[in-house]
A and B are shown apart, each in its own frame.
Chain A
Amino acid sequence: MAAEQGRVDPMHQFSIEPLFGTENWQIAGYHIPFTNSALWMAITVVVLFIFVQGGLKRQLVPGRWQMAVESMTGFIDSLLAANIGPAGKKYVPYIFSLFMFILFANVLGLLPLGLVGVHPFTFTSHFSVTGVLAIMSFAIVLIVGFWRHGLHFFSLFVPHGTPLWLMWLIPVIELVSFLVRPFSLALRLFVAMMAGHVLLEVLSSFVISSGNSGFGWGAVIGIPSFVLMVAICALEVLVAGIQAYVFALLTSLYLNDAENLH
């Protein structure tokens, strides 16, 4: 759906463009330029690195910054301890990186940097990015499960107390629900971020179009839309946090299945 003249195109913000004259970069015959998506991933990593580096001073009485970083690691630590138990300790680095990466990506994509002419790009609103994150979590679950339990890992598909006459049905359902996990994990984050950004863009197009068509329409439609937009912005900050938390939480639940079977 092409943008018509003078209209706001809500999908334009998701377009991926090569930056810094790298349109013709090729790696092994594939066309791989440095895109705005890659740029914002790099910015996220740098911001995350600075954030964590500020908390590594190891003071006995922590300052504010160290307190912030320690509360984040403590949060992930208690999440894993509650869901996996003592065996969850070794997953703290992975879940912490995953959670903070997604959280920083979501929040950086929401920053109102458009005021100074920089347009933030939320790369978590692309299925290719969230899909890779989900496949990574799923692969770790598979590796840990087969490493620890061998072929006994397949008992995951037969819950305790399944009656024998249901043996033809329950393993199939469990297998499907297991295989659907990476898709649901990736789809949830991707759609939540994309839906929020489309919604903000649509509301902003209401404000702009009604303002352009005169004072009356601007007052009747533009001002309520603008108020709603501010409220939705607050909601989006909440969603950014919740989606990062849900991703980390579900990954730790799946790791619990791999660690302890069920």
Chain B
Amino acid sequence: MEPASAKLIGAGLAAIGAGMAAIGVGNVFGSFLESALRNPGAADGQQGRLFIGFAAAELLGLLSFVVAMILIFVA
């Protein structure tokens, strides 16, 4: 396989990671909403934890984006 085409295929494969991170972020907000509707009084106090979970889940998707960008533009 040509190295250039292998790079582009690798960048495409890295996009799977972005999709997985989308599942993760959706899971974070979905679970939060589900439990916030059960107990709305406690929801506001947990917003910090919501965004910590969001940040942790999002970071892995952003890392896959970085891998794709490095494969396309740098490597």
Contact = CB atoms under 8 A, between A and B. Distances in A.
Indicate, yes or no, whether A interacts with B.
yes
Interface of A: 1, 11, 79, 82-83, 184, 187-188, 191-192, 194-195, 242, 245-246, 249-250, 253
Contacts of B52: 249-250, 253
Contacts of A246: 51, 54-55
B73 A187 contact: no
A249 B66 CA distance: 23
Q: Secondary structure of the A side of the interface? A: helix
Contact of A188 (B48, B62, B69, B72): B62
A82 B52 CA distance: 14
B65 interface: yes
A105 B29 CA distance: 26
Contacts of B59: 184, 187-188
Contacts, number: 37
Interface residues of B, number: 14
Contact of A245 (B51, B58, B65, B66): B51
Interface in B29-75: 48, 51-52, 54-55, 58-59, 62-63, 65-66, 69, 72-73
A242 B48 contact: no
A42 B52 CA distance: 31
Nearest to A1: B73
A90 B23 CA distance: 38
B73 to A, nearest CB: 6
A82 B73 CA distance: 42
Given A1-B72, A187-B59, A188-B59, A82 B65 contact: no
Given A1-B72, A11-B73, A188 B55 contact: yes
Interface of B: 48, 51-52, 54-55, 58-59, 62-63, 65-66, 69, 72-73
B75 to A, nearest CB: 12
B51 A249 contact: yes
Nearest to B45: A82
Contacts of A79: 48
B41 to A, nearest CB: 16
Which of B48, B51, B55, B72 has the most C-beta atoms of chain A within 10 angstroms of its own C-beta? B55
Contacts of A11: 73
8 contacts: A1-B73, A187-B59, A188-B59, A191-B62, A191-B65, A192-B58, A195-B62, A250-B52
A11 B69 CA distance: 11
A102 to B, nearest CB: 14
Contacts of A245: 51
A116 to B, nearest CB: 30
Contacts of B48: 79, 82-83, 249
A161 B63 CA distance: 32
A187 B66 CA distance: 9
Given A11-B73, A191-B66, 8 more contacts: A191-B62, A191-B63, A194-B69, A195-B65, A242-B54, A249-B48, A249-B51, A250-B55
A81 to B, nearest CB: 11
A61 B55 CA distance: 38
A245 B55 CA distance: 10
